[in-house]
Structure 1
Amino acid sequence: MKAVVRVLIALLMSLMPVAARADDQFRLLVIATPSKYHYEYIPVARDSLDRLAKLHAFAVTWTSDPAAFDSDLSRYAAVMFLNTPPEQLNEGQRRRFETYMRAGGNAVVVHRAAIVPPGAWPWFEKLVGRSFVNHPMVQTGVLQVVDRTFPATFGLPDRWIWSDEFYVTDNPFHIAINPVLNADETSYDPTRIWPGQVGHRMGKDHPEAWFHTFEKGRVFTTLLGHDVEMYRDDRYLQHLLGGIYWAATGRGQVR
């Protein structure tokens, strides 16, 4: 009799993950491919985002292989490019992602994924909302919350001390974005850069995270997230979660 009970308990426990998956609110595809300066973060980010997914009842599909874009993307509420060079997608994969966005798909772009070599994929540069110029060395600076109504700023202080590569961008395609975090250039040295490069100042208009709509979908971009330890930081993870939540559902913004 005891053996039968143990078998029944084991059977019920094996079914529990299936039941939990049935309650997922949405599914997120995360592509995280290693690059020269971004690879150590992957296992840490995966563990942290999986934990957030379990806590907040959504599903995450992880991949490092662009071949994931050869399959049906419509089952995902959003696609997250996590430090992944977008030019790694081949032409067919790029077209499938474009089709996904034109059908109402959504995107989250994190740090290195916002860098597109000039002319490599102009459509993706427009999706990001800004084009990468360069960045200074990692420094401690202050980020200013400029939009308290957006979920990616909930829980952040008005002035957030953070250490990162504060990307410099421009707007050659004249894309309208809604900044949520600005870098305060008086709090670090934008010209502290490697020999042979020239550091640029952007002034007061220096967005480091923003949102906008593109094609028929929602896009959240954050330029933060260079170092592996950031993916253990609760405030940074809350920032990411807010962007994911809005991109995937369209909810959470204070009207």
Structure 2
Amino acid sequence: MRNKVGALIALMALSVPAAVQAEDQYKLLVLAIPNKYHYEYIPIARDSLEHLGKLHDFSFTWANNTSVFDGDLSQYAAVMFLNTPGEELTPAQRARFEEYMRAGGNAIVVHRALITPPGEWAWYEKMVGRSFVIHPMVQTAVVTPTDKGFPATYGLPDRWVWTDEYYVTANPYKVTIHPVLNVEESSYDPTKIWPGQVAKPMGREHPVAWYHAYEKGRVFVTTLGHNGEMYRDPRYLDHLMGGIYWTATGRGQLP
């Protein structure tokens, strides 16, 4: 009798559709278009995201052009602009993305995706929450969590030695953001830049990652992630995964 029950259970398991057995928690759209300064990261980032997806039960559509924005965006829990700014979208695609956010969609903005021509698409700049001004040369610095209750900080130490482009940003639209990581300007030279350019310190408050609400959705922004090897780094991936998790689900944040 026991053998018959076991066989019946096994048969029932086989009859369950594979799609149900392996159902993902959510799905992302990842836009990653090669550009002059950011292209070598693409195969590394894709491989790392595939690993994170298998580990954390989510899936994604990887797009190297914007035609995917002509389709149904409602299937995605979040859209990730991975080193690819919104200026790549056509006017019609921009309108579709705005509709997606107004319907409760969510967005993740990574590094170069923050940089867009001032005033060209003000809605996108407001969604990001800050506007790019300039960045000094790549340098090693100390990054510190400013909100230890946010998932994008959970895998990071209190003082994280990290090497990156530390963007100088402005807030022309007076958007309120919630910083989660800050870079200590005393730990690097915020004025070190190429001849003919000028970079000025931002001061004590220099956020390099933040979140906020926009339209009816959630937005997570990290200015970190300049070179390809970063997308292999466990701590950086913990940081990125924490942002993905919160943006896609709205969960994991301490009160």
* TM-score, normalising length: structure 1: 0.92
Q: Which residue of 2 aligns with 1:38?
A: 38
Percent sequence identity over matched residues?
Answer: 66
Letter in 2 for 1:110: V
Shift of 1:19: 4.9
Q: Deviations over 1:113-171 (max 9, x none)?
A: 00011121110000000000000000000101110000000020111000000000010
Q: Secondary structure at the match of 2:169?
A: strand
Work out the CA distance in 2 between the residues paired with 1:221 and 1:253.
16
Q: Which residue of 1 aligns with 2:99?
A: 99
Letter in 2 for 1:128: V
User: How big is the alpha-carbon RMSD for the aligned residues of Structure 1 and Structure 2?
Assistant: 1.1
Q: Which residue of 2 aligns with 1:215?
A: 215
Q: Deviations over 1:63-103 (max 9, x none)?
A: 11101100010000000000002211010000000000000
Q: Which residue of 2 aligns with 1:49?
A: 49
Contact 1:66–1:88 (8 Å) recurs in 2: yes
Q: Which residue of 2 aligns with 1:73?
A: 73
Structure 1 segment 202-241 matched on structure 2, within 5 A? 202-241=202-241
Contact 1:35–1:85 (8 Å) recurs in 2: no
Q: Which residue of 2 aligns with 1:114?
A: 114
Letter in 1 for 2:94: R
Work out the CA distance in 1 between the residues paired with 2:21 and 2:201.
48
Structure 1 segment 128-207 matched on structure 2, within 5 A? 128-207=128-207
Letter in 2 for 1:57: D
Q: Which residue of 2 aligns with 1:9?
A: none
Q: Does 1:58 align with 2:58?
A: yes
Q: Secondary structure at the match of 2:230?
A: helix
Contact 1:73–1:100 (8 Å) recurs in 2: yes
* TM-score, normalising length: structure 2: 0.92
Letter in 1 for 2:158: D
Q: Deviations over 1:20-66 (max 9, x none)?
A: 54x20000110000110000000000000110001000111101110
Work out the CA distance in 1 between the residues paired with 2:141 and 2:93.
37
Q: Secondary structure at the match of 1:254?
A: coil
For structure 1, the 5+ residue unaligned runs are 1-11
Work out the CA distance in 2 between the residues paired with 1:250 and 1:204.
29
Work out the CA distance in 1 between the residues paired with 2:85 and 2:192.
24
Question: How many residue pairs align between the two structures?
Answer: 240
Work out the CA distance in 2 between the residues paired with 1:37 and 1:177.
27
Runs of 4+ in 1 over 3 A off after TM superposition: 18-21
From the superposition, tell whether residues 19 and 171 of structure 1 become closer, same or farther in structure 2 (CA, over 3 Å). same
Work out the CA distance in 2 between the residues paired with 1:20 and 1:56.
15
Letter in 2 for 1:63: A
Contact 1:45–1:231 (8 Å) recurs in 2: yes
Work out the CA distance in 2 between the residues paired with 1:232 and 1:127.
28
Work out the CA distance in 2 between the residues paired with 1:187 and 1:171.
24
Letter in 2 for 1:252: G
Work out the CA distance in 2 between the residues paired with 1:38 and 1:177.
26
Q: Secondary structure at the match of 1:169?
A: strand
